[in-house]
Structure 1
Amino acid sequence: MKFNHIAAQQLLALSFATFAFSATAMDKVTLKLAHNLDTSHIVHQTWVQMAKDLSAESGGKMKLRIYPGGQMGGPRETLELLQNGALDMTKAMANELEAFTPAYSVYSLPYLFKNDAHFNAVVHGPVGDAMTEATKEKGFFPVAAYVGGTRSFYAKKPIHSPADMKGMKFRVIVTPTTIRFIELLGASPVSIPLGEVYTALQQGVIDGAENNEPSYVQTRHEEVAKYYTENQHTAMPDYLVIANKTWDRLSDEQKAVLEKVLKKSEATQAKAWDLMVAESVKEAEKDGATFITVDKEPFRQALQPLYDDFKKDPVRGPWITKIESAGEGIAQ
């Protein structure tokens, strides 16, 4: 199934009514947004819709020009372009912002959130606002946050608990955190480019990998790793980041219009993502994949040493405390 077609349909179905903004006195502005996603990606489709909304809300005075597919480089390069004033906006995952603001490193910690409600309370609440403020000194800051899904393990054999992972080799995005994370679960981390994972699974170079459900299907990994374990170890947002210089040159009216369409884009993308996940599960099951519901507690217990190390860290520890506080009163 063509996922760009699915994404387009979902975003069209979820589109809210747009009301023209009275902008007779507003100056014209064109904002440039560059990212490294394929045009079939749900976040790119969200921004295509946002460009239409921005034009409609501003009476045609505000335009959004999108450069997808890494035309201006990867996240590191485009973030530097923001700092230099050569680009207005870009996309960055939390772990890509970590190099500029260490606070974002907490998102790579497994089982940081109780559930989706806790995730949203952090990302779209006071903790997320505080992270935004901490980022501004780097010359840019997030203006919207999008659902990136939860990452889980999938493999050539069923995994019901950490005991089943002992001795297995898993492809991961290798960082100090993920190396320790995988090793604590009794497995070995392997660094392989995403485009080579299918063949590595097929040939037995690795036993499994980890990602969200749409990526599991889009990469066709369900063909060679039939068991998807819904352990949901990490949840990391995708951010839309704007340059300070761009934000500062916008008028109050322009900022109000941009904030309105950004808020709409967050809600639209979140709903479209949920539909995409459901569709991905159906597609994978048609291809013979099995989805395994597990007790997450044994995974959390195995990873407690990693969590303890993070809490002792003078930079990350206070952020984890804030995130825990944001989850108080939210049911597991």
Structure 2
Amino acid sequence: MKKVICAFILLVLSSLVLTACTDQADPNGDGKIKIIAAHNQTSPENPYQAGLLKFKEIAEKESNGTIEVEVHAGTIGTEESELVEKLQLGAADIVLVSPGFMTQTGIREVDLFSAPYLFNSYEHWLKVVDGEVGQEMAEIINEKSNNSFKLLGYWSAGVRHFYGKKPIESISDLKGMSLRTQTSGVIGDFWKKVGSIPSSISWGELYQGLQQDVVDSSENAYPFFVQQAHHTTPNGKYITETAHDFTTRFLLINGEKFDQYTMEHQKIILNAAEESVQAERAATNKQDVEYKEKATEEGAVVNKIDREPFIEIARPIQDEFAEEIEAEDMLKDIRELE
């Protein structure tokens, strides 16, 4: 009798566990799931929006409506730290974040991808993120987050350049200039080394900061700063094509929640993610050209610069950082793909 009772209890407990898992992934028990997907950019023309809308289109179409995707463009957070927190808490299911903000979760290796001049071309970046190094980084993210984060794909955020109140002809021109950028980590170290003063003014306040002389300069890719009209401000007019970062963004899903979806839904989500990767990259590359033209038409002044002195400063910073986070082998692999 005791054996029967024990078996019954185990059966009930197993049923409760399975029901709990099912309820989280499919709360209505009707085979349908809703996915909250978010990025921090508010412009409807932003490449991030193009990528998530492609994800929505494919996921809903291939699932015959059993997957509903709700896309948020800055409406549940304009700071990436907010989005990471919402992903961890379950208030969002898919988010887009940068390596710098991912380090706040304790996964320091990801910041290697944001090191200035790590990539020397878009083709080099593709070899890295779409190859074995990219797969290794995906595994690190999943393992070190205890499955809180599962990487769905690598998005691009264009090629980042300097823009400010004067053109940069040499490194010495940066001395003493306040620069809106990441203030800590490998990015902050680089900009301090070239003589500028990193500032942490928020993205949403940057237009006003450039307009009112709160900050002398900033750095970003054409689609992002031109859509925000930074080039029309006194301290954003002069664009120097430093090309210091072929930018990486992580498309993440809550891994625990992903594992609770049916195999069919998992397959559809992964396929929709791959389609979104291609759509977002294409939109970014197209807009890189279009928004450079728009900036110059609206009075911005663009100049090129010899990047070698910047690269010479960046390389030892990369070496020191890779040693600090025990990623020397990964850095070596990235350089061998140049």
TM beyond 0.5: yes
Measure the CA separation in 1 of the matches of 2:284 and 2:249.
12
- Give me the TM-score of the superposition, normalised by structure 2: 0.81
What is the aligned length? 302
Matches within 5 A, 1:110-259: 110-137=116-143, 138=145, 139-223=148-232, 224=234, 225-259=236-270
- Give me the TM-score of the superposition, normalised by structure 1: 0.82
Give the Å deviation of 1:72.
Answer: 6.1
Measure the CA separation in 2 of the matches of 1:170 and 1:80.
27
Give the Å deviation of 1:39.
Answer: 5.2
Tell me whether 1:297 sits opposite 2:308 in the alignment.
yes
Measure the CA separation in 2 of the matches of 1:77 and 1:164.
35
The amino acid across from 2:95 in the alignment is T
Report if aligned partners of 1:151, 1:232 keep a CA contact under 8 Å in 2: yes
Change (3 A) 1:306 1:227: same
How high is the sequence identity, in percent, across the aligned residues? 28
The equivalent residue for 1:52 is 57
Tell me whether 1:107 sits opposite 2:113 in the alignment.
yes
Report if aligned partners of 1:85, 1:245 keep a CA contact under 8 Å in 2: no
The equivalent residue for 1:66 is 71
Measure the CA separation in 1 of the matches of 2:152 and 2:74.
21
The amino acid across from 2:130 in the alignment is H
Report if aligned partners of 1:94, 1:236 keep a CA contact under 8 Å in 2: no
Give the Å deviation of 1:158.
Answer: 1.8
The amino acid across from 2:114 in the alignment is S
Change (3 A) 1:160 1:39: closer
The amino acid across from 2:176 in the alignment is G
Give the Å deviation of 1:57.
Answer: 1.5
Give the Å deviation of 1:299.
Answer: 1.0
Measure the CA separation in 1 of the matches of 2:225 and 2:89.
36
Query: Secondary structure at 1:38's aligned position in 2?
Result: coil
Report if aligned partners of 2:179, 2:198 keep a CA contact under 8 Å in 1: yes
The amino acid across from 1:296 in the alignment is R
Give the Å deviation of 1:85.
Answer: 4.4
Report if aligned partners of 1:107, 1:234 keep a CA contact under 8 Å in 2: no
Measure the CA separation in 1 of the matches of 2:84 and 2:76.
13
Tell me whether 1:268 sits opposite 2:272 in the alignment.
no
Query: Secondary structure at 1:167's aligned position in 2?
Result: coil
The equivalent residue for 2:289 is 278
Tell me whether 1:42 sits opposite 2:47 in the alignment.
yes
Give the Å deviation of 1:166.
Answer: 2.8
The amino acid across from 2:293 in the alignment is K
Instruction: Output one character per residue of 1:226-278: Cα deviation in whole Å (capped at 9) or x when no partner.
Output: 22111111233222211122221223322222222211111111111111111
Measure the CA separation in 2 of the matches of 1:257 and 1:195.
34
The amino acid across from 1:31 in the alignment is I
Aligned counterpart in structure 2 of residue 32 of structure 1, from 33, 36, 40: 36
Q: Which has the larger radius of gyration?
A: 2
Query: Secondary structure at 2:187's aligned position in 1?
Result: helix
Q: Which runs of 5+ in 1 are unaligned?
A: 1-25
The amino acid across from 1:151 in the alignment is R
Report if aligned partners of 2:37, 2:52 keep a CA contact under 8 Å in 1: no
Report if aligned partners of 1:185, 1:303 keep a CA contact under 8 Å in 2: no
Measure the CA separation in 2 of the matches of 1:69 and 1:313.
34
Measure the CA separation in 2 of the matches of 1:250 and 1:205.
48
Instruction: Output one character per residue of 1:84-132: Cα deviation in whole Å (capped at 9) or x when no partner.
Output: 4454222221222122311111123110012111111111221111111
Give the Å deviation of 1:203.
Answer: 4.5
The amino acid across from 1:109 in the alignment is A
The equivalent residue for 1:4 is none
Which segment is superposed worse, 308-317 or 267-276? 308-317
The amino acid across from 2:87 in the alignment is L
Give the Å deviation of 1:280.
Answer: 0.7
Measure the CA separation in 2 of the matches of 1:73 and 1:202.
20
The equivalent residue for 2:3 is none
The amino acid across from 1:165 in the alignment is L
Measure the CA separation in 2 of the matches of 1:266 and 1:55.
17
Query: Secondary structure at 1:237's aligned position in 2?
Result: strand
CA RMSD, Structure 1 to Structure 2 (Å): 2.4
Q: Which runs of 5+ in 2 are unaligned?
A: 1-29
Which segment is superposed worse, 226-235 or 315-324? 315-324
Change (3 A) 1:74 1:227: closer
